[in-house]
């Protein structure tokens, strides 16, 4: 018997919002992206091992990593 397991990264676009960019200082729309790493067994995702969020300025493209808590604060 053998097992095929591994990790898979899934990227999901979330609704962004208007914010002041910390790189260019412009008040511009920011894209919010969720990156989730999932444990897979026989290529079937079973559970999420880690999640991270990145916001990216649409004006200059400057990316910032944010925590789940900061992401939740953005959503409300």
Among 9, 12, 23, 49, binds Zn ion (CB under 5 A): 23
Site for Zn ion in 2-21 (CB under 5 A): 21
| H/E stretch holding 4 | none
**Rounded to 5°, angle at Cα 19 from 12 and 13:** 5
What strand order describes the sheet that includes 27-41?
A: 5-20, 27-41, 44-57, 63-66
Distance, CA of 44 to CA of 33 (rounded, Å) = 23
Candidates 54, 62, 64, 66: give the one binding Zn ion (CB under 5 A): 62
Residue 60 contacts Zn ion per CB under 5 A: yes
CB nearer to Zn ion: give 21 or 55.
21
- Site for Zn ion contains 57 (CB under 5 A): yes
Q: Which residues bind Zn ion (CB under 5 A)?
A: 21, 23-24, 57, 59-60, 62
């Amino acid at each position: 018997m053998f097992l095929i397991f591994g990790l898979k990264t899934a990227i999901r676009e979330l609704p962004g919002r208007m914010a002041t960019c910390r790189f260019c200082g412009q008040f511009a729309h920011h894209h919010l992206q969720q990156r989730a790493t999932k444990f897979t067994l026989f290529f079937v995702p079973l559970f999420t091992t880690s999640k991270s969020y990145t916001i990216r300025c649409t004006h200059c493209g400057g990316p910032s990593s944010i925590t789940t808590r900061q992401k939740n604060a953005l959503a409300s």
